[in-house]
Each structure stands twice: as structure tokens, then as C-alpha cells.
Structure 1
Amino acid sequence: MEIKFIDLFAGIGGIRLGFEKAMQTFGIETKCVLSSEIDSKAAETYKINFGETPSGDIHEIHEIDEFDFLLAGFPCQPFSYAGKQKGFGDTRGTLFFEIERILEKYRPKGFLLENVRGLVSHDKGRTLKTIIENLEKLNYRVKYLILNSSNFGVPQNRVRIYIVGLLGEEPELTLQSDFGSSDSHQYKKQQLSLFDNVTNPTVKDILEDNNESTQKYICSNSFTDMLSKVVGNDFEKLHGVRLIDYRGGNSIHSWELGLKGDCTPEEIDFMNALIANRRKKIFGTHQDGKRLSIEQIKTFFDNPNIDEIVASLLKKGYLSEDSNKTYNPVAGNMSFEVFKFLDPDSISITLTSSDCHRLGIVQDNVPRRITPRECARLQGFPDDFICHPEDQFAYKQFGNSVSVPVVEEVIYDLLMNNQKFFEEYLPTQEKAITQ
């Protein structure tokens, strides 16, 4: 007996892919009776890959064929750390109640919802509490997991919440929440500390071969020339480097690139010392760092030519001065072709819809942007999944998507530990037990 499902806020079908793959493992046939996606470009990609055009606005969907399972990656903006965190005060936040409406009317056996990790702490936990309470009022027993894609064979630091529910029965799960490594440096340390021979994939494992397909993504000569001012001809020094003016560490800044005019080594040292020290508590607790006087700057940068250095940096526009003779860096326009070069021996930062196209990699000592196919692989999409033919939409869609293997593992775990609940769909009990 096939299991019928609906795919809401479907995007390009990442949750569907993971769900169907898990069902296939148990020999369960599936049928999608409804998909819904309001973004027309995402719907185009969905149709290319699944042969069906999703319905549009969920508010206008009132009649659905009977189904057994609901999938929904409901919009994350209201709950995201990057958003305004208005939650249910935001009209988009009420889209959850469309899920509730459909669950109440059709009473499917179960569901899987996916959202950003910010949902857990949003409004001091009240938003998630409201969601779970509303689901339980409909007689669904609910559990949620916070999982990092980097623990599921996907070389990306992507932490998301997965909410599963069964009608009238507590779901049993063996998976446990795990935030994973907080960044690529911690991930590398974690891999080195493992005593077995099992290691998760890293960025280098998802790269396309350096051939005709990657040529169009090579950084421009002008940008490459800027980068060479810092790393010379050894572009592999860019592994893991971020282009940003407000922080030190493994970063490159506008004054090092000569964005507003070339700087002397002394001027570069001054600017790097300023951003590294202006946030120290001895100068105050300002979030973005305090403006400092020459006397304060001399406590960490004592150079006999400091007056000339400051004057030159003011003239070039790297430094600002106020009426009190205090100084602060002026952030340059860092909207370069690449804002972050990934470390091939670690994991990627979290893909986002706005910045996917500006992630970079150095391959064979050539700096370039990562390709849409590489973005797809960072989300665990199979290589036979067809990307949108226009790069700008492909990048956005993969940045918005889910990591397919995580969904597959969550559904697999749900099926494995709740086989009696899904018994009517199993071909035979023997086939269901795969481990």
C-alpha cells in the first residue's frame, strides 16, 4: 500500500527527496497528492525534477485528496536570527496556522516540519511552545530534534530544527539533538580527535573537476590582483579566509587590498591593530568597538610616525575622525565576487539564499566562486537533480533548501522505531527490517 503525502512550502523539493529516499529503503511506495510553492522560479525547478507544477499560495488551497503524511519547510524568516524576529507578529509567521488548518481538516497519520534553529529560542521559547501546544491540541504527539548537516555526510555547518509528529501516538526516535561543530576550525579539530577511520566528507569532496564547467566562475583579473597583494601567488593561503573590515583573525580587509588606495606596511599594521584592540574592555563595552584617541591607540601601537600614518589613512578614507580627535575604521565596500573562501579540508559555512553566489574556493591555486552544482552537493542533492538553468535562481534555491540526507535520516529513524504505526504501508515485515 502506497503512502500518500503532501509537500507544503516545497521549495525545490528537498524535503520530498529525503522523504521518498527513506521510504524506498523500506520498500514503501509513495505518491505526492499535492505540492505547494509560491515562488515561481522554485516551482520551475520543482517541475523540471518531479514532473509537476506546485500549486501556489497555500491560503488558496482548500480541497486536497486524502493523504497520510504532511511535509512542510515552512518559511523561516520570522524566526531567523538574521530576520527581524517578529514571529507570530509577522504576517508570514501565521503561515504555520495554515499547516494547523490542514492537519485539523485531514488528520494525516504524521508530519515532518523543518525550520531554522532560531525557532527554538525565538521569543524566549514561547514561539516553539505555541507551535507544539497547537499541534498537541489536534491530538498529535510531537518530538523535535536540532541537527547539524555536518553530522550527516554533508560538509556544511547547517543547524536546523526538525519537528515530527504522529496522530495519537508518541513517536519513538533514536536520533538525538546535536548542534555539531560551531565552525570549520572546530570541525577540523574534531575530525583529528577521532580514533576510528571514519571521517565525514569535507568541501574538497564536493568540488567539480577544474574544467570547462568551472571556467565561468573563476575570479576576475582585477579581484585576483587585489588578492595577490595579500597572498602573493600562493592563493591557497586564502583557505578559510573571510573578507571583512570589522574583525581580525583569518580575515582580509579593504586596506590590505588597497580598495581606496594602496597602504604602506605601517598603515596596514595600524589598521589591523586598531580593529584588534578597540573592543577591549579597558576601552569600554561598545558593541562595535569604541572610538579611540591617539593616546589610547599608542598603548597598543607605539610608532614614532603615528601622526603621519593617521593623516594618510584619513586622507585615503580608511579612518574617520570626530571633533574629539578620536578615531574609528571606515568599513570599505566589501561586496566583492567572494566574501568567504571555504577551507577544502573542512566544512562550509551555512548556505544562505543571499550569499551562496559569493562563496569561493581555491582549486589548483586558482580562486573562483563555487558553482551551483557544488551548492547542490553541499545540501546533499544527488547529481542527477537538475539545477535551475539560470545561476542566480539556482544559488538562491539551494541556499533556501534543506539538507536532503538529514531529512532522509530523520524519516528513516521515525520508520525504524515506529514500524507498527506504519505497518499497513510495509510490503512485508521482513523487508522493513533493513539493519
Structure 2
Amino acid sequence: MEQESKFTFVDLFSGIGGFRMALAANGGSCLGFSEISRDAVETYCDNFAEASDGNLGDVRKIEALPPHDLLTAGVPCQSWSIAGKNLGFDDDRGQLWNDTLYLLKQSRPKAFIFENVKGLVDPRNESALGHILERIREAGYHARHHVINSCDHGVPQNRVRVYIVGFRNKGCFERFRLPPPLEARKTLGDLLGIQTRVPAAATASPGRVMSLSSKNGFNDYFLFNDLRNGDTTIHSWDILETTDRQKHLCHLLLQNRRKRVYGRLDGNPLSLPHFQSLDPTVALDELLALVDLGILEAEEYLFDVASPKRHALAEEESMVLACAAGGQLVIDDLKGNRSLGLGRGGIARTVEALKEKGIITCREIRYDFKNTKISTGLFGVNRIFLPSSDRFPTLVASDTTDYIALDDIEPTTTEDYRRQFLEKIYRSGRFRRISKREACLMQGFPGEFRLPDARARWMKLVGNSVSVPVIDMLCKAILETGVFAPKTKKPGSRTSVAAGS
């Protein structure tokens, strides 16, 4: 049953209706929405029983909006190149932020909520944010930006976004207050229907607590990569069948590859003599065995350079040879030289071409981990979150390699925590990607919210949406200012006034 209308709103960049769901639940009546994604429009109309002709279409082509009380806009992130143009509201259409501000100026609602990615408040975008706020002020509004994490307001998702909330009436603006974050947070276990318990404090000294969710010294998720170490980091040598000796060699590399003595990069491969300086018993065949396992990778690192006088050189070959010094060429010098403009693939191809011409000859081979991209994880897994976690990584339009565990574990020590996870969760296959229903719940939509069947399609729609509980919180705070209160007569006066007029 719909509530009696307390205010009207227009929903720009509506997506699948995150703004609308929250505002309608608080008595708002939608007078029109604007969206250009076909999937989003169909999903919006299906779930809100909205006729497709309610779509106002491309924001860049809208000349006027119907009179309304509240304007909302989940403005897509851009490069924010609008800063510094100062062309005026009628002359700078085409940039989505400018189009939004143009419609705000034209329609003059009593209040608005604009949403954007957290990058808008980064120092590098300071001028862009300042430009937006100045344009809002020029339009006759009092506004402030707020950085809000969805996990603080009722959903288990780490989603930090910027919300600009503004009022035409200064008194309403001054009365606007955000409520404090919720003390009781939902967990992934609430979504899965799994009862979780907070682990007792770790009896061993815990490693560095990671940035998302942790309790009593235990991280609520396990990270899969070979370049970092910690109590809840899983390495490829933990997954593949390896001996204690092989694990020892991997840890030697892990603990030393970032030391400056081995190179100038953040992570450097080590040669056989380097390994032997750390442990004199290391043999070449041991390193090659780890290469065969797919844990290490051999890399030609240092080259002797011969005279190229008898060879015709391509431009990129000359550029690479220009990095040589003292008759030697170091791969580090190429990787760290941005002016080359070749990228890793271009460097590798050019080095091969110079080898084929006999201009360079490998002098030193080094060894590094094969998996050197932290974000890609290992064997298709980046992170696995336990049901006890109160936040999942930000849902984005593209799918991720983050998973949820289907069982909880009760560790007693940090060593036991790792052992239980590997045995009960990872090796038992008790983990999976989030489902469509769970993605909806992580954004505050009903689990039965209707979305396309294809995972790529619904993941894009949900990932591009706003979190419904955050909008619900903002809407309630706006209502409490009295901005939409009905007009009342002043005693002894024939005129009428309203809080938000």
C-alpha cells in the first residue's frame, strides 16, 4: 500500500531505481525519470509498474522538468573536466554534471540529492568539486557534500560514495543533520542465513589487520596472492603440493624482493647468487622445480650490449639501447622508464628483436613469482569473505573474483584460523560468487527484485545503483528539516509561508 504523497521528485540517471525505492517508501511521488540504458529502463519499469513513456530520456536533451519538490541524480563518474570553464548555465551543456546543474537551475526544486563516486573528493579533483559547489550556489542553493559508506547504514557492503545535499531555503539547510552510523551492522551471514559468532581474541600476535573487516585480531576474509604476507594471506605454495623446503625458498623471495639492494622497483626478482647469499644451500635445480610448478618465473634481467653499427635499428630498438650504461642493459631501467612509452609487452618484443640481431646477450637470469598482479589473485580467486564479515567489497558494474564462504569457522589461534580455512572452506569448495539475490540485498533492494537472467547484465545494473538504505537515511533527514511541510498562515496575515519556500 502506497503512502500518502508528502513530496514529489524527479529521478535523473535513475538506473534501476535505488533513489525511487527509498523516496517512495517515505511518501515521495515520482513525476518522471531519466535513463538511457535499455536494460536499466526495462528493469525500472518492470519493478515500479512504470510506463516507458515516463522516461524523460537523455539528460543532455531535456530542456525542462515538470515542477517538483526534490531532484535526485546519480551522476555517472566522469573525468570532471568541467572545472574552470565558467561558461554559464545555458552555454555548457553536454557535460553530465553541467546538464544536471542546468536542470537544477531551470526547475528550482526545494531540495536535491546528487550522488557520485568517492574520487570526486580526492585532492586531484578539488577544483572540480569546488566548481560544482560554486555552480550550485550560483543556482540559489545552500549545499554541502557528505562522504558516506553504505556499510554504516544497513547493508554489508564497503561502498563509499559522495552525496551532495542542498536546499533552496537556508533555514532547512542549517537544520539538516545526518544521523550517526548504525551500531548493529548486518553481516554476510545475515544474507546467507548463517549464524556467526565473534571469534575469541587471537592468542598469537596477529599480522597486520587488513583494510576491510576484522574482529579480535582475526581478519574476516582471506587474500590470495604471492606478493604479500599475513595471517590470512593464502599463497600459491599453500594451494599447490609443495615441500617445506620449497615453501622456505618462496618465503626467502617474498621477504627480500622489495629490498633496495636487489633493485629500484617495488618488487625485484632475485638471481641464484642472491638466493645463495641468503641461504648458501640453495641450488639451481630447486629454483627450476618451482618454475615447473608455476610458482616462479625465470626472467632475463641483465644484458651485455654489442655495437649495433652493422644493424638497421627500428625506432623502439634505438630507444631501448639508449637506456644502456657501461655496455650493459638492465630490465629494471626499461620498466621504470615511462618516457619509452612501450609498456611491458612492447619492451619484451623489442628486447627479443635485439637478441635475434645479436646486439644484446643475456648475462644474468633472475627469478620472481609468476603471479605478480595482486588484484587478479590466484587461480581465479582474489578474496574469500567469511560469513562473519560485515562488509563485502564495493559492487561494481564488472564482475569480480571475490567470493563468499558458505560456512563459518571458529579459530583459537591465528595458525588454526588459516588451517581451518584451507581445510573446511577452500579445499572443500565451500565458497562461491554472490548470487543475484545477495547482490540485491547488498544494495538494499528486496531479494526478489526483478533483474535480467544473465549474470553480466544484472551485475552491471546492481553495481551501478545507489544503496537504497543510504538514500532512505538521507530522505528521512531531509524530511525532518520541514522542507516539504505544507504551507501555514502566519497569525494575522493573509499570506502563507512554508518551511521550504
Q: TM-score, normalised by structure 1?
A: 0.73
Aligned to 2:20: 16
Structure number with greater Rg is: 2
Partner of 2:166, secondary structure, is strand
Q: What is the distance in 2 between the residues matched to 1:256 and 1:423?
A: 62
Q: What is the distance in 1 between the residues matched to 2:487 and 2:47?
A: 25
Aligned to 2:404: 360
Structure 2: which 5+ runs fail to align?
Answer: 85-91, 196-217, 303-363, 409-424, 489-501
Any conservation in 1 of the 2:7–2:69 contact (CA below 8 Å)? yes
Q: What is the distance in 1 between the residues matched to 2:121 and 2:179?
A: 15
Q: What is the distance in 1 between the residues matched to 2:129 and 2:118?
A: 11
Identical aligned residues as a percent: 33
Any conservation in 1 of the 2:399–2:456 contact (CA below 8 Å)? no
Aligned to 1:397: 461
Of 285, 290, 298 in structure 2, the residue corresponding to residue 320 of structure 1 is 298
1:127-276 equivalence runs, <5 A: 127-169=128-170, 171=173, 172-175=175-178, 199-207=184-192, 240-249=221-230, 250-258=232-240, 263-276=242-255
1:76-155 equivalence runs, <5 A: 76=77, 78=79, 94-155=95-156
Range moving further from structure 2, 148-157 or 54-63: 54-63
Aligned to 1:278: 257
User: Per the alignment, do residues 177 and 330 of structure 1 end up closer, same or farther by CA in structure 2, a change over 3 Å counting?
Assistant: farther
Any conservation in 1 of the 2:224–2:377 contact (CA below 8 Å)? yes
Q: What is the distance in 1 between the residues matched to 2:281 and 2:16?
A: 60
Letter in 1 for 2:98: F
Letter in 1 for 2:122: S
Q: What is the distance in 1 between the residues matched to 2:188 and 2:21?
A: 22
Partner of 2:477, secondary structure, is helix
Of 390, 395, 410 in structure 2, the residue corresponding to residue 351 of structure 1 is 395
Structure 1: which 5+ runs fail to align?
Answer: 25-29, 80-85, 181-197, 211-236, 427-435
- 1:408 paired to 2:387: no
- 1:310 paired to 2:374: no
Partner of 1:99, secondary structure, is helix
Following superposition, the deviation at residue 127 of structure 1 comes to 1.5
Following superposition, the deviation at residue 359 of structure 1 comes to 2.8
Q: What is the distance in 2 between the residues matched to 1:92 and 1:293?
A: 58
Any conservation in 2 of the 1:75–1:92 contact (CA below 8 Å)? no
Aligned to 1:339: 382
Following superposition, the deviation at residue 335 of structure 1 comes to 7.6
Per-residue deviation, residues 183-206 of structure 1 (Å, max 9, x unmatched): xxxxxxxxxxxxxxx531111011
Q: What is the distance in 2 between the residues matched to 1:298 and 1:43?
A: 63
Per-residue deviation, residues 77-113 of structure 1 (Å, max 9, x unmatched): 537xxxxxx6769x99921111011111111111101
Greater helix content: 1
Aligned to 1:49: 47
Q: What is the distance in 2 between the residues matched to 1:139 and 1:253?
A: 56
Any conservation in 1 of the 2:398–2:460 contact (CA below 8 Å)? yes
Any conservation in 2 of the 1:241–1:342 contact (CA below 8 Å)? yes
User: Per the alignment, do residues 315 and 123 of structure 1 end up closer, same or farther by CA in structure 2, a change over 3 Å counting?
Assistant: same
Partner of 2:437, secondary structure, is helix
Any conservation in 2 of the 1:314–1:320 contact (CA below 8 Å)? yes
Q: What is the distance in 1 between the residues matched to 2:30 and 2:104?
A: 16
Any conservation in 1 of the 2:275–2:282 contact (CA below 8 Å)? no
Partner of 2:109, secondary structure, is coil
Q: What is the distance in 2 between the residues matched to 1:303 and 1:130?
A: 62
Aligned to 1:290: 268
Letter in 2 for 1:409: M
Partner of 1:392, secondary structure, is helix
Q: What is the distance in 2 between the residues matched to 1:116 and 1:306?
A: 51
Per-residue deviation, residues 51-89 of structure 1 (Å, max 9, x unmatched): 22344322122243222211111112537xxxxxx6769
Letter in 2 for 1:201: K
Of 362, 369, 382 in structure 2, the residue corresponding to residue 329 of structure 1 is 369
User: Per the alignment, do residues 337 and 17 of structure 1 end up closer, same or farther by CA in structure 2, a change over 3 Å counting?
Assistant: farther
Any conservation in 1 of the 2:371–2:378 contact (CA below 8 Å)? no
Following superposition, the deviation at residue 268 of structure 1 comes to 3.7
Count of residue pairs brought into register by the alignment: 362
Letter in 1 for 2:178: L
User: Per the alignment, do residues 274 and 57 of structure 1 end up closer, same or farther by CA in structure 2, a change over 3 Å counting?
Assistant: farther
Q: What is the distance in 2 between the residues matched to 1:3 and 1:320?
A: 66
Any conservation in 1 of the 2:69–2:484 contact (CA below 8 Å)? no
User: Per the alignment, do residues 370 and 66 of structure 1 end up closer, same or farther by CA in structure 2, a change over 3 Å counting?
Assistant: same
Letter in 1 for 2:440: A
Following superposition, the deviation at residue 141 of structure 1 comes to 0.5
Letter in 2 for 1:326: R
Following superposition, the deviation at residue 12 of structure 1 comes to 0.9
1:365-376 equivalence runs, <5 A: 366-376=430-440
Of 465, 481, 485 in structure 2, the residue corresponding to residue 423 of structure 1 is 485
Q: What is the distance in 1 between the residues matched to 2:473 and 2:34?
A: 23
Q: What is the distance in 1 between the residues matched to 2:476 and 2:405?
A: 34
Any conservation in 1 of the 2:276–2:282 contact (CA below 8 Å)? no
Partner of 2:298, secondary structure, is strand
Partner of 1:204, secondary structure, is helix
User: Per the alignment, do residues 272 and 424 of structure 1 end up closer, same or farther by CA in structure 2, a change over 3 Å counting?
Assistant: farther
Range moving further from structure 2, 47-56 or 367-376: 47-56
Following superposition, the deviation at residue 298 of structure 1 comes to 5.0
User: Per the alignment, do residues 311 and 153 of structure 1 end up closer, same or farther by CA in structure 2, a change over 3 Å counting?
Assistant: same
Letter in 2 for 1:243: F
Any conservation in 2 of the 1:6–1:32 contact (CA below 8 Å)? yes
Partner of 2:95, secondary structure, is helix
Following superposition, the deviation at residue 400 of structure 1 comes to 1.9
